[in-house]
Structure 1
Amino acid sequence: MKSMSAEQEESLGIKAVHHEMDNGEKRFRLVGSDGSSYIRTESAADGAWQNSHFHERM
């Protein structure tokens, strides 16, 4: 298995978008060219509950 560069990923329609929220929570996103996305959320040091969900239609 070999790693892909950000340029290769974007040429396939996938972009990585990551943010750190003001409360310390971190969100790591993979966004497809069709607008769909996968988000991994890591809570801040003091912890928080995250409910997994999906949107069947937008």
Structure 2
Amino acid sequence: MGTSDLIQYAHALYNAHGDKAEAEAAQKALSEEEAGNAEEAQKWRAIRGHIKELRGPKST
């Protein structure tokens, strides 16, 4: 999965789940890491990073 695919997936996940998308990506990364799938875990971490960028800075 290339970078553009990860970005598209991050957009789709964020559009579907809103602010919960980042937590979902983090959970999937953890699950993949625990299952021994380091490459898949890294993809989910990248997706989470893109979702963080989509959300922008947190306002208080």
State the TM-score bracket (shorter-chain normalisation).
under 0.3
Please say which structure displays the higher CA radius of gyration: 1
**Higher fraction of strand:** 1
Q: TM-score under structure 1 normalisation?
A: 0.23
**Higher fraction of helix:** 2
Identify the structure with bigger relative contact order (alpha carbons < 8 Å, sequence gap 6+). Answer: 2
